[in-house]
Amino acid sequence: MKLLAGNSNRPLAEAIAAYLDVPLARCSVKRFADMEIFVELQENVRGEDVFIVQSTSFPANDHLMELLILIDACRRSSARRITAVIPYFGYARQDRRTAGRTPISAKLVSNLITESGADRVLTLDLHAGQIQGFFDIPTDNLFAAPVLARDIKERMPEGERMVVSPDVGGVVRARALSKRLETTLAIVDKRRDRPGESEVMNIIGEVRGRSCILIDDIVDSGGTLCNAAEALLANGANEVSAYITHGVLSGGAVSRIANSKLKELVITDSIQPTEAVKVARNIRVVSIAPLLGEAISRTATESSVSSLFD
């Protein structure tokens, strides 16, 4: 096995390497003066099972190009099999046409990864499950739910907790976590007037006296979470925490969450946390390195990956 890493999330790649007890392969990812990306593999990968760890997070286009060029470098160096490990799959929110004359960018990115020479893809909590079908190569979509559920059980009293979906579209994800925690489920019904803004309308379910856990796959501007927390507290909830897989946290999101009524926002390190995230009073990061490391190990040994979630 050879484990390679781009520049998008080096700490996560190093943590995965430590879990697997495999050193990161020596690789140089540089930029020329005009910002063209240049990759040089500094050790032999001929006949090897190569795993490339690279989230396509901000700046998404740069990190996507790094991934494509890394894959091409491995293919041209005669790697036996190339697996793109993409903890956060950018462009996933563009998974369908929302209006006339618009693209389906998630499909385009899937095609680029496939055509660059990847043999399979390993990713985490895709925004829409059907994106797995956009790839014409085997794709494993892992779930952060076991990691998040373990953290919730360790920190929150069993009788008080209640899982809440911040919108109707996330009910399936919230129900799965609710089943793991053996607790009840509520839903925030909201209306979004324009991108990046949301208006909470009402709460479906009885949240009075409960410790509410908002669950979602992506937090970007943070507006939905903050509005949902206010609505839940207004309806009698004791406290509100949020567990989100991918902490995009663009613009003023960190400041917005730090000044909100959320007790805590818990995100994974699928996207490398910024300094602002690290010092925020109510944002905490849990690692998904063991989950990804175990999935990589099972892929390398041709063992079952789905049994990770039984």
* Positions at the binding site for ATP: 34-36, 93-94
Question: 261 catalytic, yes or no?
Answer: no
Closest among 71, 76, 74, 22 to 48, alpha carbons compared: 74
Binding residues, as ranges, are 34-36, 93-94, 127, 167, 192, 216, 220-224
Residues making up the chain, counted from first to last? 310
Binding residues for Mg(2+), as ranges, are 127, 167
Interatomic CA distance for residues 273 and 275, integer angstroms = 7
From the candidates 153, 190, 263, 278, give the one annotated as an active-site residue.
190
Question: Which residues fall within 8 angstroms of residue 73, CB to CB, at 6 or more apart?
Answer: 39, 40, 41
Q: Which residues pair with 122 in a beta bridge?
A: 85, 140
Taking a C-beta distance cutoff of 8 angstroms, is the pair 107, 132 a contact?
no
Binding residues for D-ribose 5-phosphate, as ranges, are 192, 216, 220-224
Interatomic CA distance for residues 41 and 52, integer angstroms = 12
Terminal-to-terminal C-alpha distance of the chain: 26
136-144 own/partner pairs: CB under 8 Å, 24+ apart: 140/295, 140/299, 140/305, 142/291, 142/292, 142/295, 142/305, 142/308, 143/176, 143/309, 144/245, 144/268, 144/270, 144/288, 144/291
Interatomic CA distance for residues 208 and 217, integer angstroms = 25
Closest among 73, 91, 90 to 82, alpha carbons compared: 73
Active site residues: 190
